[in-house]
Structure 1
Amino acid sequence: MKSRLTASHPLAQVWLAALWMALLANWPLWTRLQSVPEIHGVRGLVFTAAFAGMVTVATAALLSLLAWPRVIRPLLVVLLLSAGALAHFIGSYGIVFDPTMVVNLVQTDVHESRDLLSWRLLASIALLGALPAWWLLRQPAAPAQRPARRAGFNVLSFVLAIAAMLLLALSMFADLSSTMRNHKTLRYMITPLNGVYALSAAALRGQAAPSGPPAVVGADAHLLPRAQGAKPPLLLLVVGETARAMNFSLNGYAQPTNPELAALPVVSFRQVASCGTSTAASLPCMFSPLGRDAFADAKGPQENLLDVLQRAGLAVLWLDNQSGCKGLCDRVPNAHASRPPEGAPPLPDRLCDGDECLDEALLHGLDRRIAALDAQQLARGLVLVMHQMGSHGPAYFKRSPPELKRFQPECRSNALQQCPPEQVVNAYDNSIVATDRLLARSIAWLQTQAGRFDPGLLYVSDHGESLGENGLFLHGMPYAMAPREQTQVPLIMWLPEGGGLAASLEPGCLTRLSKAAASHDNLFHTAMGWVGARADAYKAEWDLLAGCRRRPASG
């Protein structure tokens, strides 16, 4: 008996699902295409229709080879639900889904995920995913068919789909090649093919990564001799989160987002490029000695700045107020801001809501945490890293306490696209004011340590943020096509005027240097130079302090 292609047939389900996802779950893609200046009017509509046909047949081709009764239905349910979620995030925030975004997703904790939940997300999953999945699951089982015959139909469906895709591509080749070349983000918006590609690429990278301990960096790490009577260094390295340089009034921004730092003798670097556009990409890169270009080509995990400083003999402590250190602090003492040290009073209610705390909690019980470190290492110096929650979105309004909400009205929703643009900016700027106070209070704490250490502060954010510019929100764009809002980050230094490090630098040199271009590539080497540590991985030309050192007087 000949089998008919009814709704219960696996291939029919494949083509129907492909058509549904291509036409409906890709609404952000079709909307974006209409804004592309090269294709507008009737020509743009024809191109969009042909491109939709390509997406449909490409999806059907991929799924045709998997169109087996016990496989295809569960797979389609997962793809439909995923397509509904992707349509929401791409359409609402303008994000793209690539392998880096998969890493971000895997490393996101429950608190960050909670901020992304909304009724719009649930509605998108329900209408674009759950509704067709419910219809699919109600279909009767496919009639029995010999495996060889079913395989033949699957291959035939695949071949026909590929042929149709090629014909469509050739029919609009000029527009297609130009559009894909000039608007590379579009390729990461094609749902669900973007998800399949990103998950596959991330999995392959994970499989290719060598197992075992990280490669040793700076095996010869040591401390330079300290002058007689000189105090050991104390470097407080504050790693910001999602702070973009252009919203710091220290850098010329119109709104006074740095009221407390403006009254302190800090140096703000205005042209600093990040390693990546996400925490997962930037954090390991900025603590590496390799620099962004070489880090991208590195094979397997390597030790980082914290390992090298600890090997040199310094005390190292990582304090986190976010989703973790991405493996950087695994081999050094570390703690989370939400859990006070033993013997310290509990965190005030104003600082914490459950396990999520404002960044000021990083300073709570700090002296007790330091007292618990190795005394011999402390005698040589201390590097303390504070990893902020900073301006993590989309719930920017959660990142600042009521008394620091200087800019009103602010967006009090995680659905940023529903708020007026100025309210989104106000909520974000209030989070920068909260960072300003954290840094000012950190400096005040450092000043209390001046009797024991030679203190200093270095602040740098991991990446920037889009606040609706060109339809983009949040971060995580592929670096090559990311806007400057996501790649330009603040970098701020504070050194007490009477300190030993400040005395070793030419007066005014750092202020002049702050106008030059810098990047995350400088962090490892600047921190090494700051605390007087050396290793074969250290590059003086990447040390922001090296060019400002006083030359010894000639005798």
Structure 2
Amino acid sequence: MSFSRIEPAPVHSAPLFEASAQQLSPPGALWQRVDQWLTRPRSAALVMLWLGLYLVLTTNWPLWNELARIGGAPSTYLPTVIAMSLLTLCGTVAMLSLTAWSRWLKPLWFLVVVLAAVTQHYMLEYRVVMDPTMIANALQTDPNEARDLLSWRMAFNVLIVALPAGLLLWRMRIAPMGFLSKLWRNAALLLLAVVVALATGVAMNRQLAPLMRNNIHLRYMMNPIASLYSTGAVFIKPLFKRSGKLIPITAGTTLGASYAAQVRPPMFVVVVGETARADHFALNGYARDTTPELAKRNVLSYRDVHSCGTNTLASVPCMFSPLGKQGYESRKDDYENLVDVLQASGLAVLWLDNQAGCKDVCTRIPNASAFDGLDAATKKALCDGDECLDEVMLKNLDARIAALPAERRAKGVVLVMHQMGSHGPAYYKRSAPEVKRFTPECKTNALAECGHNELMNVYDNSIVQTDRFLADTIDWLKTQSKQYDPAMLYVSDHGESLGEYGLFLHGVPYSFAPEAQKHVPMVTWFSEGMSERRKLSRSCMEAGLDAPLTHDNLYHTVLGLMDVNTPTYKPALDALASCRAKA
């Protein structure tokens, strides 16, 4: 019997090791495969579709949060979130399809991502919406105001969205194509976006129609569509709405009878406030004593005054316009304004600014920045860089007035002082250490990081600063009583949201803006000389402190008080007309 030797089977260890290595490939190899996939040539239209999807998923959290807040139960709001996201995607892709041409447009695509990221940050941080008014206001912001809006939090929120998109766009290759090939692809992408949007709108009409009708602000939260649309509207709509010509209104302007035998000329100071809320003035019943100095100076505080707009760009030109809110917003041409009429009457007029410009109101009269010509000691005491407390406008004021033409000063002086006031979000910069009555303060411009009490404290301290500034202005006017019959009128341009309904700052479209952004303080002070000159009844004025007024009344009230006759003056809109004795 013989036995056969059985050889052991060879062990094939190398192939098994190689399989394991493939399954556990190092990160470098994985990134290499991803990079190879990214750099595969693709049409620009396909890249725009991906970019639109990325933007919808990463930059529309404010919209989703708002839909959840409005909708209530998840079963109610989730379908609308999906529908609104699909509409946002279609709108974004439709706009991007117009740029889907070549790799040289990558910087533009990245800029859209950055814009969307910045927009989302401010919508989340301050609960604002990107309507045309907000965009126009942002474009008017000066470097100092813009610096107050910057923070490390903003940088992080923008980078976390923009950096991945930038890396992907940088690595993606756009396939070269002929013009006609690109054209039909872009047209197909645009058509697809429109068809899907229409289908979504029809399918969800029962839910979306009442939602959008009752919550108009939602259309300005679709990111980046809203900011792109609103930016376009700011630059394009005026080209079709207004001719660009200036309509004069000063013809026939004369000084009234009170100037014929005056002993002293009038001096009237109009203080344009910034971001002050009427309900935070102790003069109007606020529980905190935010206006201790004004309370000592025999002022009159009107308690039911509403602004023309919810931001400076809208309100300041409107309040000085003869047209009123409705007429100003529907105008097709630009018109001269209150300071033009005062200048045409022969009075000495000066606009003094501690803000980001007069919004074209003062371009035809003498005007100056309060920061100009300050000595080093004053800058150190009242200024932080190029931002100054409002008291800076009282420095060198006698010299500024003396520089106006003597023949005009002999008739009378009107001085407009435009405050920095309570401009946010850096409220902590708006008050000096010695007037900070309420502590602890919110010491950051990221308002959502502060507690409610801290936010109230820092805002109320800015009102205390305004109280001191107005009191100092009255005291300065009293020193002018030997030469002039002085008076002062203060009114804020708009109010401010301080967390109510989840809103911060201002600029919400007027039709659905909260009362806090529209209800503004108005305070007047009259010297004995001015009261006698214009035969003002104190008891009559006190009886009218609760009468409803708006910015529409400012134009006519100032003209009536200064006794300036002009065809555009309307006695019915003069808040003091009924309190002046007939000559």
TM-score, with structure 1 as normaliser: 0.95
Q: Which letter maps to 1:12?
A: L
In 2: Cα distance, 1:352 partner to 1:334 partner: 20
Instruction: Give the aligned partner of residue 473 of structure 1.
Output: 504
Task: Trace 1:56-71 onto structure 2 (pairs within 5 A).
Answer: 56-70=89-103
Q: Which letter maps to 2:239?
A: Q
Instruction: Give the aligned partner of residue 83 of structure 2.
Output: 50
In 2: Cα distance, 1:253 partner to 1:445 partner: 27
- Tell me if structure 2 keeps the 8 A contact 1:80–1:130: no
User: After superposition, what is the alpha-carbon deviation per residue over 1:170-205, rounded to whole angstroms, capped at 9, x for unaligned?
Assistant: 222111111111111111011110012101111112
In 2: Cα distance, 1:208 partner to 1:451 partner: 52
Instruction: Give the aligned partner of residue 504 of structure 1.
Output: 535
Q: 1:313 pairs with 322, 336, 346, which one?
A: 346
Instruction: Give the aligned partner of residue 14 of structure 1.
Output: 48
Residues 1:218 and 2:277 are matched in the alignment: no
In 1: Cα distance, 2:538 partner to 2:280 partner: 28
Instruction: Give the aligned partner of residue 21 of structure 2.
Output: none
Instruction: Give the aligned partner of residue 13 of structure 2.
Output: none
- Tell me if structure 2 keeps the 8 A contact 1:495–1:501: no
Instruction: Give the aligned partner of residue 127 of structure 1.
Output: 160
Instruction: Give the aligned partner of residue 30 of structure 1.
Output: 64
Instruction: Give the aligned partner of residue 422 of structure 2.
Output: 391
Give me the identity figure in percent.
45
Q: 1:434 pairs with 456, 459, 465, which one?
A: 465
Residues 1:327 and 2:331 are matched in the alignment: no
- State the 1:501 CA deviation: 4.5
Instruction: Give the aligned partner of residue 442 of structure 2.
Output: 411
In 1: Cα distance, 2:240 partner to 2:94 partner: 27
- Tell me if structure 2 keeps the 8 A contact 1:314–1:383: yes
- Tell me if structure 2 keeps the 8 A contact 1:84–1:125: yes
Residues 1:196 and 2:222 are matched in the alignment: no
- State the 1:349 CA deviation: 1.5
- Tell me if structure 1 keeps the 8 A contact 2:349–2:414: yes
Q: Which letter maps to 1:298?
A: R
Q: Which letter maps to 1:505?
A: L
Instruction: Give the aligned partner of residue 88 of structure 1.
Output: 121
In 2: Cα distance, 1:292 partner to 1:211 partner: 19
In 2: Cα distance, 1:194 partner to 1:427 partner: 32
- Tell me if structure 2 keeps the 8 A contact 1:318–1:385: yes
Instruction: Give the aligned partner of residue 331 of structure 2.
Output: 298
In 2: Cα distance, 1:521 partner to 1:229 partner: 29
- Tell me if structure 2 keeps the 8 A contact 1:230–1:500: no
Which runs of no fewer than 5 residues in structure 1 stay unpaired?
Answer: none
- Tell me if structure 2 keeps the 8 A contact 1:22–1:55: yes
- Tell me if structure 2 keeps the 8 A contact 1:454–1:501: no
In 2: Cα distance, 1:29 partner to 1:389 partner: 32
In 1: Cα distance, 2:49 partner to 2:237 partner: 31
Instruction: Give the aligned partner of residue 193 of structure 2.
Output: 161
Q: Secondary structure at the match of 2:392?
A: helix
Cα gap change, 1:81 to 1:229, in 2 (>3 Å): closer
Instruction: Give the aligned partner of residue 489 of structure 1.
Output: 520
RMSD: 1.9
Q: 2:179 pairs with 117, 138, 147, which one?
A: 147
User: After superposition, what is the alpha-carbon deviation per residue over 1:356-398, rounded to whole angstroms, capped at 9, x for unaligned?
Assistant: 1100001001111111111110010000111000000000000
Task: Trace 1:106-125 onto structure 2 (pairs within 5 A).
Answer: 106-125=139-158
Residues 1:534 and 2:568 are matched in the alignment: no
Instruction: Give the aligned partner of residue 395 of structure 2.
Output: 364
Which runs of no fewer than 5 residues in structure 2 stay unpaired?
Answer: 1-37
- Tell me if structure 2 keeps the 8 A contact 1:249–1:255: yes
Q: Which letter maps to 1:234?
A: M
Instruction: Give the aligned partner of residue 272 of structure 2.
Output: 239
In 1: Cα distance, 2:86 partner to 2:269 partner: 56
- Tell me if structure 2 keeps the 8 A contact 1:501–1:530: no
Cα gap change, 1:174 to 1:7, in 2 (>3 Å): farther
Q: Secondary structure at the match of 2:355?
A: coil
Instruction: Give the aligned partner of residue 104 of structure 1.
Output: 137
Instruction: Give the aligned partner of residue 385 of structure 2.
Output: 354
In 2: Cα distance, 1:256 partner to 1:43 partner: 45
Q: Which has the larger radius of gyration?
A: 2
Q: Secondary structure at the match of 1:349?
A: helix
In 1: Cα distance, 2:204 partner to 2:405 partner: 68
Q: Secondary structure at the match of 1:43?
A: helix
- State the 1:164 CA deviation: 1.6
Cα gap change, 1:217 to 1:464, in 2 (>3 Å): same
TM-score, with structure 2 as normaliser: 0.90
Residues 1:207 and 2:239 are matched in the alignment: yes
When structure 1 is superposed on structure 2, of 154-163 and 466-475 the one drifting more is 154-163
- Tell me if structure 1 keeps the 8 A contact 2:534–2:580: no
